[in-house]
Amino acid sequence: MLRFTVRRLGIGLITIWVISVLTFVIIQLPPGDFVSTYVQRLQRTGGVNAETAERLRVAYGLDQPLFVQYVKWMDQVVHGDYGMSFDWNKPVGEVIGERLPLTLVLSVAATIFITVVALPIGILSAVRRYSYADHFFTFMGTIGLAVPEFLLALVLLYVSARYLGTNVGGLFSPDYQDAAWSGGKVLDLLKHLLLPAFILAVGGTAEVIRVMRANLLDELRKPYVVTARAKGLPERRLVAKYPVRVALNPFASSLGNYIPRIVSGAVIVSLVLNLPTVGPLLVSSLVSQDMFLAGTIILLLGVMTVLLTLVSDIVLMLLDPRIRYRD
């Protein structure tokens, strides 16, 4: 159990490190360093002489080798200083503000959605194999896997705007937009979360149903199931108590593997549905090459994914005694 946790933690840390290096590369990719970008922007409003620019460069350590710059940047990030956003002329941390927790809430909502929907359907599909329900869900699953989230969002946006005429998109009603957090606001948020969570969950649900169905089918064929049935155990208890619990392992691990895709999808779905997550911010900052903002968002999304995956791994461990008692 300890070994499993340590191993997962190790992989998580390595992943975060890789993401941080990639993010640093992305920040460095656009031509010119950020002081030249900064100076360029200042020049539009007023003059900046070369001396000031040079002073800024030294102040930010841009005259030093890339490796030193990376370590310095990481040091700042670890201490919660993400640099300045040029677009907003504010510290990056302030710009991101509430958007990151909302991204997290959306991703978690989608994950919960997948679990709640896919688990019973997967079991049903396996137990009642080749029934109408099974065929129906298999068919829907194929479609669900094939339709990219943002296109689904686009189509649903059109349908609801055309036929329901409601104000879709956004995460809050106008009444609660700027209100302080309260019970009413949380309820309002939950109501608005349903559609985006559904959109983000469709692909994952389809995939997890497939995994659950296949594994449970394998399990149902095993001799211990036949024995239990022969001994007269009620079918419902028999299925729920043994094969389902064995099949939960691949279920949970495929769910965990899907988390990066939920976070990915959330970026683009948020843009279509106009949700106040970090997604639209990331796209606009990349278009205007506001690299510290963009880099920070990429890094934080990566860290968030790693943490979510870690949580799902720990859940997996709690579910499966074979992992718990391995050593």
Partner 1 sequence: MTDEITVDHPVHDHPPVGDDDAVAPVHGHGDPAAAPPETPSVAVATQRRLMWWRFRKHHLAVFSGIVVILFYLVVIFADFLAYADPYATDAERSLIPPQPIRCCEAWHPYVYPVTGSRDPVTFERVYQVDTSQKIPVSFFVHGYDYKLFGVFHTDIHLFGVEGSDDALSILGTDPLGRDVYSRLLLATRTSLTIGLVGVALGLVFGVIMGGISGFFGGWVDTWIQRVIEVLNSIPTIPLWLGIAAAIPKTWSVTQVFFAFSIIISFIAWTDLARVVRGRILQVRREDFIVAAELAGSRPRRIIFVHMVPLFTSHIIAATTLAFPAMIIFETALSFLGLGLRPPAISWGVMLQQAQNVEALVLSPWLMVPVIPVIVVILAFNFLGDGLRDAADPYD
Footprint of partner 1 (CB under 8 A): 11, 14-15, 18-19, 22-23, 26, 29-31, 142-143, 145-148, 150-151, 154-155, 157-158, 161-162, 168-169, 257, 260-261, 263-265, 267-268, 271-272, 282-283, 286-287, 289, 294-295, 297-298, 301-302, 305-306, 309
- Is residue 284 within 8 A of residue 273, CB to CB? The reply is no
* Cβ-based nearer residue to partner 1, 67 or 163: 163
Among 316, 307, 323, smallest CA distance to 12 is for: 307
* Cβ-based nearer residue to partner 1, 24 or 228: 24
Q: How far is the CB of 315 from partner 1 (least distance, A)?
A: 16
* Cβ-based nearer residue to partner 1, 11 or 233: 11
Q: How far is the CB of 3 from partner 1 (least distance, A)?
A: 17
Q: How far is the CB of 326 from partner 1 (least distance, A)?
A: 19
* Cβ-based nearer residue to partner 1, 136 or 181: 136
CA distance 25 to 23: 5
Cβ contacts of 116 within 8 Å, gap of 6 or more: none
- Is residue 311 within 8 A of residue 9, CB to CB? The reply is no
The distance between the two most distant Cα atoms of the chain, rounded to a whole number of Å, is: 89
Q: How far is the CB of 131 from partner 1 (least distance, A)?
A: 20
* Cβ-based nearer residue to partner 1, 12 or 245: 12
Q: φ, ψ for residue 85 (rounded to 5)?
A: -95, 125
Cα 58 versus chain centre, distance = 37
Written as six digits, the tokens of 19 are 């993401």
Q: How far is the CB of 162 from partner 1 (least distance, A)?
A: 6
* Cβ-based nearer residue to partner 1, 1 or 14: 14
Number of residues assigned to the chain:
327
Written as six digits, the tokens of 75 are 């040091």
Q: How far is the CB of 264 from partner 1 (least distance, A)?
A: 4
Neighbours of 253 (CB within 10 A): 15
